Amino acid sequence: MTFTSDDLKTPSNKTFRDIALATVAALAVFGAVLTVAQTVKMAAASDAVPAASAEKADRVTSALPATCKSEAWGDWSADCLAAISGTVNPRQVRFETFEARDVEGKTSVLARVPART
């Protein structure tokens, strides 16, 4: 091994560069730890159990007026529709749903169209 100089000390600019790189690396590790800690904290907060609520069917039937209790959802009489909407002469529109299946593509398309009365 050949040395061009008898001075075996590390140059000061290389030492400064090494310290700067070590500082940046330490800050990156510290930032990563903070990010992981915050993510864990947020995940733990999202695991909270929501307040118990009534089932969907219970909510719908409880919101309907008494005139609609015996009728199928969406197929209401004029009296029931008037009680729901609050209007005297409501316009009732019925819909029918048609399905077109593509067996090879394993898809189906639903089309909802107004029914002729």
Higher-pLDDT residue of 50, 105:
105
Higher-pLDDT residue of 77, 59:
77
pLDDT at residue 30 in the model: 96
pLDDT at residue 51 in the model: 56
Question: How does pLDDT run across 11-65, given as a tens digit for each residue?
Answer: 677 888 899 999 999 999 999 999 999 988 887 776 555 556 555 555 554 567 8
Question: What residue segments make up the domains of the chain, in order of their start?
Answer: 64-114
How would you write the chain as a 3-class SS string?
CCCCCCCCCCCHHHHHHHHHHHHHHHHHHHHHHHHHHHHHHHHHHHCCCCCCCCCHHHHHHHHCCHHHCCCCCCCCCHHHHHHHHCCCCCCCCCEEEEEEEECCCCEEEEEEEECCC
Give strand pairing partners of 114. Answer: 95
pLDDT at residue 82 in the model: 84
Higher-pLDDT residue of 67, 30:
30
pLDDT at residue 34 in the model: 94
